[in-house]
Chain A
Amino acid sequence: MQSLFTLVFRRMRLPLVALVSVYAVSVVVMTLIPGLDDQGQPWKMSFFHAFYFVSFMGSTIGFGEIPYAFSDAQRLWTTVTIYSSVIAWLYAIGTMLSLVQSQLFRRALSEQRFQRKIKHLKDPFYIICGFGDTGQSLVKSLLHNAQRAVVIDNEAERIDMIDTQDWDYALPALIGNADDSNNLAKAGIHSGNCKGVIAMTQNDNTNLQIALSAKILEPNMKVICRAQTLDAQRNMESFGTDLVVNPYETFAEDFVLAMEKPSMYLLERWITAPADTPLIAPVFPPKGHWILCGFGRFGKAMYQRLLERGNPVTVVEAKPNWTHPPKNTIIGRGTEADTLKAAKLKHAVGIIAGTNHDVNNLSILLTAEQLNPKIFSILRQELAVNQHLSKAMNPGLLMDHTQIITSRILENLTTPLTGHFLRQARTNPEQWASILISRIIALLDDEVPTTWVLSVRKDKTPAVWDQLRNNQDVLLGDLMRSTTNHLVNLPCIPLLLQRRRKLHLLPDEGMPLKFGDRILFCGRDRARNRMNLICSTQQKLHFSQTGEVRSDGWLWNLMFNRKLEKTPSMLDRAHKYSIKNGVTKQKKKKKTD
């Protein structure tokens, strides 16, 4: 506030002084010049009349010569006054206009607006530093998940772009260097509402500095970083950065998983894909001889993983002096048939187009597929603009760092239970995953499953809360019944139940719920809506437990209080579920047989 005010008045000082002076001189001289009144007597204008006259004349309203017709001397002075006052006004207004249009003023104005927005932001929010492809994708997903965000980027163009797009919530943005801790403070890191700082710039050093400043300014702040190299990643982790996402290492890990446990990999893809994604088909990266084009950060991560698993790799690299590839590397870009032939493409099972140039990558795959149509391809996509090309290319696996970073961070922020589930799941054998996959696919249509978390809390699940408080048991299965037929299950599967520190993988339907339980479900969106209904209305919960429709009016309850006692005891219901589960277990056995 202060700075804008100061700015305006510093610039406007001279014009205002000029205006006051011109008016003062005009008025004074006006009172000094003698005139004649209507009786022909000598008359002098008083200050009151002079000020009135100069005011309407200076603002070009012009009521005429009042109170009496002017003498020639007065008219002469009026002529001088007209020009001087108009010039003074033009000077003042012109200065004001040029001030309003100046870059400095706009910057100050937008910064002031930004700080007002931050001040009025009553919901918890995240500060996102860096608004490139990845930053934009992350912000979009965060807002879509009802989280609030504040953006800092040093490129005005990117910030201006915010106004041209549609966002789910207001998105305050600041133009400035995010590694300047003043800007973090302006973005509200000290306000109690800031939940975390996310460093998304393309520069490892900048990200490092953001993370460091955030941790120093607010030691308990959640800090998430993007890292491009292992070195930077380790550095960030060393001072307690809560999550470091290295897209190259992450993809390489996932690739190994897909190679060794395809069902587990598919399960992960399904669970972490954003809602409304068409159902993802399983992929089976083959083992054998691989060709790797581009030995950059991504290439190195893949090379190491492939070798560790005993797959021979031929590296194709255009600039060996920069990247230091292994000895028997073939020099070339990989976009020409000769280089690929030299790398024995005919005998290779897979090719990785992993340079940092999208067009070259596409060209490599096109050439490779002409020479060897059966080859398994992995495409690296650098820029989000090229996503349609990448999709049309239809590679076996797509390495899109934007998507990897976004989904990893989103999972950490909005559904940490998903991360717990995936870590627990990875400890199980491949067969466990394929059984779960077949159970999930039975529920689905043509889209990946939606995942959601249900918390047993007063504000989220009031009906369940009330029953538990009355010492009536609620079983996990009670929440999963259809709202029209209580013997039919909703299309969903409970994946994980968190009770205090303890995690129960694939919890049983007969498990009684407790206060504070958090349950991760996956299934169809419809099931999620129905489940919310059951959890928030006593009537629906009662129906799904017993199949009885209960009137729930206050008067009704008062008059027929006995009805409440009729709810079946927990033993009865547990018995019922044990029968049900027995049946499903038998079915499963048949399947596995």
Chain B
Amino acid sequence: MNLEKVVFAFFILLALTLNFGFFLGDLTDPVQHSAYALFAALVVSLIASVLKIGHRTHVDAMLLATSLVADLQLVTAAIVWGVVVYGMGIDMNPHYMSIIVSLSGGALLANGISVIILIIETSTHRL
């Protein structure tokens, strides 16, 4: 067993599950989507990206690309949240919440693909 591989897979999976946790719930209801969940998803997604950088193969490049997409979507969601609450000075309403949650939905898709690639890559290794 390679510890590096474990850590690697751990963060990729964790990014997916945290993202899923945030996404879960009514699309427009601010109460059902915690800022902490978004923050955790974003941080883990960033760590996963850092871990993916620096590999050489084509599969690794694909993994990195999905991770960057997830980062982009989650960072955008966080920025939207911050701008709405502090920039525009209004309370979170269903309209903006739906934008944030759908952005995280996109990230969820990217993270899902990341996990699928990881599974495919793992299955090609001889056990």
Complex contacts, B58 vs chain A, CB 8 Å: none
Render A6-35 as a binary contact track against B, CB cut-off 8 A, 1 for contact.
101110110011001101100110010000
Q: Is B116 an interface residue (CB 8 A)?
A: no
Is A17 a contact partner of B85 (Cβ separation < 8 A)?
no
The answer to whether the Cβ of B35 comes within 8 Å of any Cβ in the partner chain is: yes
Q: Is the CB of B51 within 8 A of A17?
A: yes
CB-based contact B43/A9 at 8 Å? no
A24 touches B56 (CB 8 A): no
Residues of B with C-beta under 8 A to A12: 54
Decide: B56 and A6 in contact? CB cutoff 8 A.
yes
Q: Name the B residues within 8 Å of A21 (CB-CB).
A: 43, 47
Please name all residues of chain A whose beta carbon is closer than 8 Å to the beta carbon of B40 when the two chains form the complex: 24, 28
Q: Within 8 Å CB of A48, what residues of B?
A: 82, 85-86
Contact bitstring B28-61, A, C-beta under 8 A = 1, else 0: 0000000110011001001100110111100000
CB-CB under 8 A from A23, the residues of chain B are: 43
- Evaluate contact between A13 and B54: CB separation under 8 angstroms: yes
Within the complex, which residue of A10, A27, A47 is in contact with B54, where a contact is CB–CB below 8 Å? A10
Chain A positions within 8 Å of B46 at CB level? 20
Whether B53 and A9, one on each chain, are in contact in the complex, defined by CB atoms closer than 8 angstroms, is yes
A2 cross-chain contacts in B, Cβ below 8 A: 56
- The 8 A CB mask of A185-217 against B (1 = contact, 0 = none) is 000000000000000000000000000000000
A28 and B50 contact, CB distance less than 8 A? no
Can you list, as one digit per residue, whether each of A38-62 has a CB less than 8 Å from chain B (1) or not (0)? Answer: 0000000011100000000000000
CB-CB under 8 A from B54, the residues of chain A are 5-6, 8-10, 12-13
Contact: B85 with A46, CB < 8 Å?
Answer: yes
A contact residues around B47 at 8 Å (CB): 17, 20-21
- Interface residue tally on B, bucketed by range: 10 to 19
A48 to B39, CA, bound (A): 11
What's the nearest-Cβ distance from chain A to residue B7, in Å? 9
Cα separation A48 to B89 with both chains bound (whole Å):
13
CA A219 to CA B118, docked complex, whole Å: 45
| B residues less than 8 Å from A47 (CB atoms) | 35, 39, 78, 81-82
CA distance A182 to B107 in the complex (A): 43
Give the Cβ gap from B82 to chain A, nearest Cβ, in Å: 5
Interchain nearest-CB distance for B111 vs A (Å): 17
A439-455 contacts to B, CB under 8 A, are none
Chain A residues positioned under 8 Å from B53 (CB to CB): 9, 13
Query: Which B residue's beta carbon lies closest to that of A23?
Result: B43
Q: Indicate if the CB atoms of A28 and B39 lie closer than 8 Å.
A: yes
Q: Please name all residues of chain A whose beta carbon is closer than 8 Å to the beta carbon of B35 when the two chains form the complex.
A: 31, 46-47
C-alpha gap A9/B82 in the complex (Å): 31
CB distance from A49 to the nearest CB of B (A): 8
**In chain B, what residue has the closest Cβ to A5?**
B54
Q: Report yes or no: B51 in contact with A28, Cβ–Cβ below 8 A.
A: no
> Is B39 a contact partner of A24 (Cβ separation < 8 A)?
yes
Distance in Å from the Cβ of A56 to the closest Cβ of chain B? 16
A8 to B55, alpha carbons, bound, how many Å? 11
Q: How far is the CB of B77 from chain A (nearest CB, A)?
A: 12
A35 to B64, CA, bound (A): 40
Least distance between B39 CB and chain A CB atoms (Å): 6
**Residues B68-91 near A (CB distance < 8 A):** 78, 81-82, 85-86
Check A16 against B50 for contact (C-beta < 8 Å). Answer: yes
Given A20-B46, A20-B50, A46-B85, A27-B39 contact (CB < 8 Å) = yes
Chain A residues with CB under 8 Å of B86's CB are 46, 48
Contacting residues, chain B, for A8 (C-beta < 8 A): 54
The 6 closest A-B pairs by CB, nearest first: A9-B54, A24-B43, A9-B53, A10-B54, A16-B50, A48-B82
16 intermolecular pairs with C-beta atoms under 8 Å apart:
A5-B54, A6-B55, A8-B54, A9-B53, A9-B54, A13-B50, A20-B43, A20-B50, A21-B43, A28-B36, A28-B39, A28-B40, A31-B35, A31-B36, A46-B86, A48-B85
Identify the A interface with B (CB < 8 A).
Answer: 2, 5-6, 8-10, 12-13, 16-17, 20-21, 23-24, 27-28, 31, 46-48
Q: A6-B54, A28-B36, A48-B86 are in contact. List 4 more A-B contacts (CB 8 A).
A: A20-B50, A23-B43, A31-B35, A31-B36
